[in-house]
Amino acid sequence: MPSMENDTSRSRTTDPVDVRIARLEDTGIGVLRYGLVFLLVVIGTAKYFAFEAQAIEPLVAHSPFLSWMLGAFGLQGTSGIIGTLEVATGLAIASRRLSPALSAGGSIAAVVTFLTTLSFLFSTPGAFSLKHPAGAFLMKDVVLLGASIATAAEALRASRARASRSAAPVGALSATRAMS
């Protein structure tokens, strides 16, 4: 039974319960993938606006990984660069049906993104406080990190399956030609 996402390398089964479980899993991965895409594109696009640049300033200013960007590009420039990376990451993840390898790369970029944003919890003073506006906002990134890992694994599996399928006919064709 072909999966909703195509190219997954599960063993084929006719057991109706296994088929339903596979469909449920495929649906869940699809919701994770395109939910990530939606959030990355929307949040990334918001970075082009001053209100979002101002909102991320205290997070970026205290980050050991990103604070240098403020001096190099200014607040709006830094926000725009981050937004561009987020939108590009989302679009790469969305390419799953066309290019599982590119989608896997996008999911891995999202893993890096969410590890970076989770680091703000440790670098931004007071971020763990319930009164800090960024604390709860950043906590959702734990779930998004998990979704990124799951979609990366699925897309890598699909990429390998697609590569092995495309390699098989070439080898079979070569063997056929050698025999003639």
Buried b (16+ CB within 10 A) or exposed e, 62-84: bbeebeebbeeeebeebbbebbe
- Mean pLDDT, all residues of the chain: 88
- Token readout for 103 is 């989608």
Q: What is the pLDDT of residues 56-65, one digit of tens each?
A: 999 999 999 9
Whether residue 8 is contained in a domain is answered as no
Q: What is the pLDDT of residues 150-161, one digit of tens each?
A: 999 999 999 999
Torsion angle of C-alpha atoms 118, 123, 128, 129, degrees rounded to 10: -140
Residue 180 in this model has a pLDDT that exceeds 70: no
> How many domains does the structure of the chain reveal?
1
Whether residue 7 is contained in a domain is answered as no
pLDDT-derived band at 4 (thresholds 50, 70, 90) equals very low
Whether residue 24 is contained in a domain is answered as yes
Whether residue 2 is contained in a domain is answered as no
Domain of residue 30, residue span: 16-179
pTM: 0.83
Residue 126 has a CB neighbour count (10 Å cut-off) of: 11
Q: Which pLDDT score, from 0 to 100, does residue 166 have?
A: 84
CA distance 3 to 1: 6
Whether residue 29 is contained in a domain is answered as yes
Whether residue 21 is contained in a domain is answered as yes
* 24-40-91 Cα angle (round to 5): 80
Whether residue 141 is contained in a domain is answered as yes
Whether residue 77 is contained in a domain is answered as yes
Q: Which pLDDT score, from 0 to 100, does residue 176 have?
A: 44
